[in-house]
Structure 1
């Protein structure tokens, strides 16, 4: 059984993008859990893949929740005749170009009836997450393609999937799951300037208030400074806020047996914490 031995674990949340740039970087929230309180210590932006790889080598102990899928649907993998063990599958997937991934998945979907185009992982329904084979809106298939090989190269520990450095633990998070618990179906972010409305700003402020008061099933309260609260609320794309949501999910996992992994989690598909 995976257990956490550090008395005050560093907890990490990562809002990921498959093509990081200075305008749209990978955002990392770092905090500290003490009892049922999680204090946000820092927010960092990683403008490229090399910066992400360098950050992953940060010595532990830390537990991080990463906002990208760690696996593909078993139904899809078996249909394509790809390896049905996780590490060989990821190595095969990483060897493909994004164009090949897109064309392969598009052909799979084209052959299926309306309403059932995509294959899903077992964790998608309880998490409300997009299928990990989706290549647009959002392109999570490319996020998997870019992110998971980096985790493997960095030698971090992926519970239930791959043994690695036990002082650096990487888990699959999904901020949308916690966001829905906090504010329901209200939209709180937009990349396009025309959609960055006052209503979304209010939603972000309401979300932060609920996090600070601990109004979630995680049983944790977020502690932030006035300056951090203003910064998180003011970010219309909510990359920093999504990183904080993942950080809270990582904090929850530190208090759970086996990081909260369901007993029936598919070792090929992976799993999403708190789902």
Structure 2
């Protein structure tokens, strides 16, 4: 019997630390069941990069943007090829990114300061050029180079190399807020501010977990947790552990589509090869 492929879901931080680590959920899919095997935390980008590059096969969902808006890239005169654009982007310092993006915004009218990717509208996601609240531009800057250096395949954007160990590592852009909103609407379920660790947010996390465990989402998948795992996800008031599990489910959906013959893991065939697309959107 062929073993179930390793699935991962990543709640990413562009500046990980002991207080705010990168959280990686690991598991596997058995039909419509997605079994959480465990959570791993990384307190540095270097440690996470070593994990990504290790000789193992996996399909992962990563909560960080994989591309910039085409409108922005064109306006700045950056390369329109994804690989060349990312090579240019990773060579910039954060201050250079902030200044370039702020200059772009300054020239635009109120209410339309930011450029958006095509996927942002249906996903409800922040524009990938935002450098504050949340700083997703810095997440792209920190995260995509780790994936490229690990030789990861990004469907629709980048074909990773054939590894000597024969293992293929596949990364999909995920967005946990998309799946959470399907269940909770606009109810908040997390905060990094301890003063906002309220009973209402705890109830929202428990409601979200209950929906995931019975499969009450359009993904058609059920999250399988032990009682201890359920409690750990519910009690993490930052929501980082739960977000990693949500990304795991989105990766499982993409892997299931691929197992059914979809080379793009459920991404739309007409996706913009510069901007990328969020899986399950």
Q: TM-score, normalised by structure 1?
A: 0.96
Partner of 1:3: none
Q: Where does the alignment leave 5 or more consecutive residues of structure 2 unmatched?
A: none
Residue 264 of structure 1 deviates from its aligned partner by 1.3
Partner of 1:271: 277
Given that residues 53 and 149 in structure 2 are in contact (C-alpha distance below 8 angstroms), is that contact kept between their aligned partners in structure 1? no
Q: Secondary structure at the match of 1:163?
A: coil
Residue 261 of structure 1 deviates from its aligned partner by 1.1
User: For residues 119 and 7 of structure 1, what CA distance do their matches in structure 2 show?
Assistant: 43
Residue 43 of structure 1 deviates from its aligned partner by 0.2
The answer to whether residue 102 in structure 2 is matched with residue 102 in structure 1 is: no
Partner of 2:58: 62
Given that residues 64 and 169 in structure 1 are in contact (C-alpha distance below 8 angstroms), is that contact kept between their aligned partners in structure 2? yes
Partner of 1:188: 189
Residue 7 of structure 1 deviates from its aligned partner by 5.5
Q: TM-score, normalised by structure 2?
A: 0.94
User: For residues 3 and 155 of structure 2, what CA distance do their matches in structure 1 show?
Assistant: 20
User: For residues 154 and 58 of structure 1, what CA distance do their matches in structure 2 show?
Assistant: 8
User: For residues 114 and 58 of structure 1, what CA distance do their matches in structure 2 show?
Assistant: 46
User: For residues 54 and 16 of structure 1, what CA distance do their matches in structure 2 show?
Assistant: 15
Q: Secondary structure at the match of 2:223?
A: strand
In the TM superposition, structure 1's runs of 4+ consecutive aligned residues that sit over 3 Å from their partners are none
- Superposition RMSD on alpha carbons, in Å? 0.9
41-50 vs 56-65, greater mean Cα deviation = 56-65
Residue 59 of structure 1 deviates from its aligned partner by 2.7
User: For residues 71 and 60 of structure 1, what CA distance do their matches in structure 2 show?
Assistant: 25
Q: Where does the alignment leave 5 or more consecutive residues of structure 1 unmatched?
A: 1-5
Q: Secondary structure at the match of 1:215?
A: coil
160-169 vs 208-217, greater mean Cα deviation = 160-169
Q: Secondary structure at the match of 1:64?
A: strand
TM alignment of 1:50-129, pairs within 5 A: 50-129=46-125
Partner of 1:134: 130
Residue 61 of structure 1 deviates from its aligned partner by 2.2
User: For residues 253 and 6 of structure 2, what CA distance do their matches in structure 1 show?
Assistant: 12
User: For residues 139 and 201 of structure 1, what CA distance do their matches in structure 2 show?
Assistant: 25
How many residue pairs get matched? 270
Partner of 1:227: 228
The answer to whether residue 15 in structure 2 is matched with residue 19 in structure 1 is: yes
